[in-house]
Amino acid sequence: MTDCWNELLQKIGIAKTFSDAAQNHKTYTVDDETLRQMINYLGYSLEDKADSEQLLQKIENKRRQYVLEPIYVVRTEHKVFSAVLDIKNVDNLSLRILHNGKPLKVDYTSEIVSVHCSGHHEYAHMSFEIISELPPQYYEIELSANNNISRSVLAITPDKCYVPEVLQNRRLWGFAVQLYSLKSARNWGVGDFTDLADFAKMCGKIGADVIGVNPLNVLFHDYPENASPYSSISRLFLNPIYIDVEKVNGYKPEYVDAATLESVRQTADIDYSLVYNLKTNVLKKIFNKFITKPQSKEYKKFAKYCAAAGTDLDNLATYQAIYSAYCDKVYGGWRAWPKELQSPYSIAVATFKKEHQSEILFFKFMQYIADLQLQNVYQTIEDSGLTIGLYRDLPVGLCKDSAELWSGNDLFIKNCGAGAPPDIFFPTGQKWCLGAFNPYRLKDAAYMPFIKILRAAMQGAGALRIDHVMSLMRLYIIPDKSENGTYVYYNFDDMLGIVALESYLNKCMVVGESIGNVPDGFIDKIHERGIYSLSVLWAERWNGCGDFKAPFDFPQNAFCSVGTHDMAPLKMRWFGYDIEIMYRLKMLDETERQNQYKGREDERRRLLAALDWAGVWPVDKPRQSNCFYGEGYPNGIMEAVEAYTASSASAVYLAQLEDIFGVEVLQNLPGTDRDKHPNWRRKLPVKIEDYEQNEDFVRVIKIFNEKRG
């Protein structure tokens, strides 16, 4: 029975044991009841561990119930797929390969690999190989057997993701920015698409080639304070808070109170409710006049956009309208709505849509305007000559109370959320509570939900960061009612193939955020498919916590930076303020606190030694003191650290404005919400208009161009 249990877990792809990536590398054994529940959360039915053999057999038998799998993901040089047929139909087969509905002339071979009996039937397991050359693309398979036609998708993928040719002989640099944090004289208290376009123009002048941004996806309309860009309600659409309202056709200054506008600009941190409601109220006034002119040229463009966005936009806007109608009446999100409204395809939802056409149209209007302004950013980037351009961010999951889950709840793992076990940077682990794709439902849908979010993020972008890229292989899943979870495995080869194909079709390079619990051999595997990894200075140490690696030892196929938005900026890290915050919030006990301080002291010593060895201290700011114990901030250390990291062998270096401007607060403290820490609310201390007059900024730009030229 134990053998069947272990075989079942391996067959389904659930880890019975796993190790974390914390300093002591603890190994965990998951209890049988949690494992049994996880099997059920994935859509199977297992009442007792003793029934493992029956479920295994049921899974085996299921494959014989259909001829073709929903999709086959193959490489150009090995275009092989399988089929399962009644043995009586083998001699009467015909195969067609189509592209966009048009049949192609292709040569292929086929053979019977094995024969299995089930009941009174014999089934032939067949292998087909396409001999003809076919470029990377999506194709349709039609397999006819005795006038019964079976269909599937054939995704022929390139060996590697798209990579700009310039990276073969140049090392580039740019910035990683949180768009909301950009401060300017003209924005409405939060960075917007005009700020991003202005920043791109400046990057073109100073030599930067890439701008990395936080996820730009739509968040809750009725709860603007739920501000995490990694917990969106749809990864297919944009957050209207980034709209520059003054640039919208039909805007009039009298639509907004000047005193209110000035107050949102002056807040120390972003007041999301005030800013978002201010913007949407003005947009509603513009919209009310806009819809009275359905024959106008602008309205026809809007209608065309809505038609192209199709069902996905319709579902998002409908979800938002229902949410607004019920948010003050029920608690618990869409699962607490009347049952007849819990599916977008019900009669009740169709009736709601007829009765609330204007509200739904308004949500579509905001998406239309946001898309227009983002397209303007892309055009500005192109005009400014940035080699890579916008480097967008695709979150690993999304809010469980989201339009994506409402639109396709069966696609996601039930009653669970994604997270991460302990690692070097987050010793207590992380419970993100994010909705995660069910690997089996995802393949049943021919990976289309995954393909859609890739396309939405890649369109127009030069690079895409896949958040927690290890999720292409496995994802740490935690039941809602527990603090402990385990890994669920995905079809790694399929997921890599889809990423490579979409990268190739969209001419968008791919970077995997690979910080945390990284499986052995994982980095080599993604590099083999042309996915660049992510490197941060604090992780580039020998044996994880030894001396800092020399810049020439940094990985070449990587985007590197000093830290990330989840880590303390340079000055804050130097003093250890982040340790004290975690201790105050009881995320560390006293022993862990002291260990963290000792580790940080050792880090400071080793960092200074590395900077001394590399000779990167500015000539006019030589190091004058050690400050080993964090009692001061060494003169010139910011420039030295930037010079050290910018000198790395990595293909792209991303500077963080927080480090340059000496910010001493965290953008995000994982594992906390705004009741404990003001995540995602920090404004930068310097306005965009003043960057090129800021001494620290001017000095590091010179460094970047010298080190990356």
d(CA 7, CA 151): 31
**Chain-wide mean pLDDT for the chain?**
94
- Strand arrangement of the beta sheet that strand 108-118 belongs to: 80-86, 121-130, 108-118
- pLDDT tens by residue, 314-362: 999 999 999 999 999 998 899 999 999 999 999 999 999 999 999 999 9
Domain 77-157: state its class. Answer: mainly beta
**Residues 597-601: what's their mean pLDDT?**
94
> 27-29 and 17-19 as β-strands: parallel, antiparallel, unpaired?
antiparallel
Q: How far is CA 680 from CA 34, 107, 225, 370, in A?
A: 34, 55, 10, 20
Task: Please name which of 452, 449, 451, 423 lies closest in space to residue 436, comparing C-alpha atoms.
Answer: 449
Residue 425 has pLDDT above 80, yes or no: no
Task: Please name which of 377, 397, 374 lies closest in space to residue 386, comparing C-alpha atoms.
Answer: 377
The residue written with tokens 């965009």 in the block is: 688
| Confidence bin at 150 (pLDDT 50/70/90) | very high
- pLDDT tens by residue, 373-407: 999 999 999 999 999 999 999 999 999 999 999 99
Instruction: Count the helices and strands in the chain (H runs, E runs).
Output: 20, 25
Residue 686 has pLDDT above 80, yes or no: yes
Q: Return the ∠ at Cα 14 (arms to 342 and 670), rounded to 5°.
A: 70
Weakest mean pLDDT among 159-168, 418-427, 439-448: 418-427
Weakest mean pLDDT among 278-287, 421-430, 627-636: 421-430
**Residues 219-244: what's their mean pLDDT?**
97
d(CA 528, CA 169): 19
Q: How far, in whole angstroms, is CA 418 from its chain's centroid? A: 13
Q: Where along the chain do its domains lie?
A: 77-157
Q: Is the pTM of this model over 0.85?
A: yes
The per-residue pLDDT for 23 is 67
**Residues 247-260: what's their mean pLDDT?**
95
Answer yes or no: are the C-beta atoms of 468 and 516 closer than 8 Å: yes
Q: What is the DSSP string of 248-292?
A: STT--GGGS-HHHHHHHHH-SB--HHHHHHHHHHHHHHHHHHHTT
**Residues 10-31: what's their mean pLDDT?**
87
Burial track 465-476 (b if 16+ CB lie within 10 A, e otherwise): bbbbbbbbbbbb
d(CA 567, CA 556): 23
E strand or H helix at 144: strand 137-145
d(CA 602, CA 605): 5
What amino acid is encoded at 262 in this protein? E
Residue 423 has pLDDT above 80, yes or no: no
Answer yes or no: are the C-beta atoms of 665 and 163 closer than 8 Å: no
The per-residue pLDDT for 285 is 98
